[in-house]
Structure 1
Amino acid sequence: MFKFREVTELLVLVALIFACHASKKVTDPLLPAFDIEGHRGCRGLMPENTIPAMMKALELGVTTLEMDAVITKDKEVILSHEPFFNHEITTGPDGKPVTEQDERSLNIYHMTYAQTQAYDVGLKPHPRFPNQRRLKATKPLLREVIDHVEAYHKLKGGRPVFYNIETKSQPATDNKYHPAPEEFVRRIMEVINSAKISDRVIIQSFDFRTLQVVHKRYPAIRTAALIEDFDKRNLEEHLKALGFNPTIYSPAYSLVTKELVTKCHDRQIKVIPWTVNDKEAIEKLKQLGVDGIISDYPDLLTQ
């Protein structure tokens, strides 16, 4: 039978083990303890990257709105996953669906904001999201989205959400479909700073060049490194290529392991995988200790 001193020593040892484990959890005084991110607003339920999608995501209780940004000919920042009008979701000014053959010629970087508003991205049924509500919608200005979201919170109260904004760029299409990284980041930051929401912004990208610009020019802004499922480099190789530790490591969810989560947490990096649309997969990822999840169906995370 244990003596009192032995029991006390055992309890202290257990407490130290738990304390060490807890200390590895990444903390940020502003970021949610577990981040519920609505992918492109809530793509499974509403037309992607539109104001209705963002407002619905707020109603569902997301803590972060995930969105994609591109730049127009007249240097406006608008929401769009591609720097062109994707045939899957677009109806042209003539009321006819945009074809796959035509989509690449509808280069948003060569169009003014006013010209982009002639194209609808909410009426055409999405082939992969049959439950998505159909409604008339256009690609909105980033500042317009922010105005609507901030007004919602002033009216409803509650904790203001974060904005996770992806720069849609790659080296091969610099100055063809988008500006080079320095200008791309500057245009987005002009909107963010004007709206005075910089303490609630994350800039994410698969293009590490834009993250490097953010880290150098705007060091107070949080960054998220997006990782494709076909990228065979490991965490250490990604961090070496990036040149610094991002706030968030955001891999395709199939890449997440307990070992990866532990390695990130040891470096004070949060792990928020994308895009998880299955309840069972969500629960498995939570058990692995991820710090949040990006989903087309944020209602799966708020139920």
Structure 2
Amino acid sequence: MKLSWNHIIMVVYIILSGCTQKGDRKNSIDIQGHRGCRGIMPENSVPAMIKALEIGVTTLEMDVIISKDKKVVVSHEPFLSHEICLTPEGKIISEKEEHLLNLYTMNYDEIRLCDCGTKPHDRFPEQQKIPVYKPLLGEVIDSSENYLRSHSLNPIWYNIEIKSSAETDSIFHPPVVEYAELVLSVIKEKNISGRVIIQSFDLRPLQYIHRKYPDFQLALLIETPVPAEKSISLLGFIPNIYSPDYTFVNKELINYAKKNNMKVIPWTVNEKDEILKLLRLGVNGIITDYPERVLEIILSQSLQTVALKNLPNLRISPS
């Protein structure tokens, strides 16, 4: 029996998809689409989330900020980034002036007028250029759930980052308790609490949610190379997920996490060799701008195991 690599990938994908439908999430790799799939679509937009679902992510990762009129908006920055956005009037934004375009001082109707998808992105040249606006969290959830239902797909998870810091309280966002409650109110309204991870670099929202809503899954984001024990000690409890810069992941961290019943899901991993290295180390998931790359590697590695053990007569020819 001789099949091309592309045919093999398709077959294994179908097999693994069937297994995933009945499988336990605890034992599977969580493919998290960073800001949807920033490598190929405008970040944190509805089209990016839908494209990520088409690719096959298990979790949609996104960031949320708060507008002047207390709307929960999907956006990485609490201002109009010069890198991706235009003003409501369609004008170019300079790096020097971007912080003056503070979304916490703008009502959502004004924010929605800003195009954040047509400007060429120097760091992501493959990104499709289409007009997009910063959507409400509720719209992202509704659009994603509708897509899943209409295509008879399994439920996915949402990894939502609260972008707070003590230095920017009441400047770029409301006080942390109000911020957290606004985000959680949308999640509860949409009835997806059991499929949500709240992540943050800021310890305060995680501590507040852990204390008041202990059933929520929480992820501690890490951007400095400090020992995990120290980070956990400062947090005051063991989070469900430890989510470091991917360069900080090593076998010691994986062993520590396993011992403490904590998942390791690093960010933001885009190169195939790094993805494979981390999977071999034993991470529980990957946050990536290119979810199709993670899926391809998982499928190719699974194929090797299946082919060697169960398909001895199979020979793979070049595509």
TM-score for both structures, normalised by structure 1 = 0.89
What is the aligned counterpart of 1:88 among 83, 92, 117?
83
CA distance in structure 1 between the partners assigned to 2:208 and 2:116 by the alignment: 31
Structure 1 residue runs without a partner (length 5+): 1-27
Residue number in structure 1 paired with 2:231: 238
CA distance in structure 1 between the partners assigned to 2:162 and 2:217 by the alignment: 14
Cα displacement (A) at 1:94? 2.6
Is residue 32–residue 63 contact of structure 1 (8 Å, CA) maintained in 2? no
Is residue 80–residue 86 contact of structure 2 (8 Å, CA) maintained in 1? no
Residue number in structure 1 paired with 2:314: none
Is residue 67–residue 165 contact of structure 1 (8 Å, CA) maintained in 2? yes
Alignment of 1:164-183 (within 5 A): 164-183=159-178
CA distance in structure 1 between the partners assigned to 2:24 and 2:273 by the alignment: 30
What is the aligned counterpart of 2:127 among 120, 125, 132?
132
Residue number in structure 2 paired with 1:16: none
Which whole-Å deviations, capped at 9, do the CAs of 1:226-276 have from their partners, x for residues lacking one?
000xx2421110011000000000000000001100100110000000000
User: Is 1:207 the counterpart of 2:202 in the alignment?
Assistant: yes
Is residue 274–residue 295 contact of structure 1 (8 Å, CA) maintained in 2? yes
CA distance in structure 1 between the partners assigned to 2:41 and 2:172 by the alignment: 26
Residue number in structure 2 paired with 1:34: 29
Q: Structure 1 pair 264/172, CA: closer, same or farther in 2 (3 Å)?
A: same
CA distance in structure 2 between the partners assigned to 1:136 and 1:299 by the alignment: 23
The aligned length equals 274
Cα displacement (A) at 1:116? 0.3
For 1:134, the aligned partner's letter is: K
Cα displacement (A) at 1:95? 2.2
CA distance in structure 1 between the partners assigned to 2:294 and 2:248 by the alignment: 20
Residue number in structure 2 paired with 1:118: 113
Match of 2:150, SS state, is helix
Residue number in structure 2 paired with 1:63: 58
Structure 2 residue runs without a partner (length 5+): 1-22, 297-319
Is residue 36–residue 64 contact of structure 1 (8 Å, CA) maintained in 2? yes
Is residue 78–residue 103 contact of structure 2 (8 Å, CA) maintained in 1? yes
Residue number in structure 2 paired with 1:252: 245
RMSD, aligned α-carbons = 1.2
Which whole-Å deviations, capped at 9, do the CAs of 1:176-202 have from their partners, x for residues lacking one?
000111111100000000000000000
For 1:106, the aligned partner's letter is: L
Give me the identity figure in percent.
51
Residue number in structure 1 paired with 2:264: 271
Residue number in structure 1 paired with 2:289: 296
CA distance in structure 2 between the partners assigned to 1:129 and 1:199 by the alignment: 33
What is the aligned counterpart of 1:142 among 126, 133, 137?
137
Is residue 40–residue 48 contact of structure 1 (8 Å, CA) maintained in 2? yes
Q: Structure 1 pair 167/33, CA: closer, same or farther in 2 (3 Å)?
A: same
Which whole-Å deviations, capped at 9, do the CAs of 1:122-142 have from their partners, x for residues lacking one?
010111100000000000000
Which whole-Å deviations, capped at 9, do the CAs of 1:93-152 have from their partners, x for residues lacking one?
232211112211110111100010121100101111000000000000000000000101
Residue number in structure 1 paired with 2:273: 280
Residue number in structure 2 paired with 1:159: 154
Match of 1:38, SS state, is strand
For 2:188, the aligned partner's letter is: N
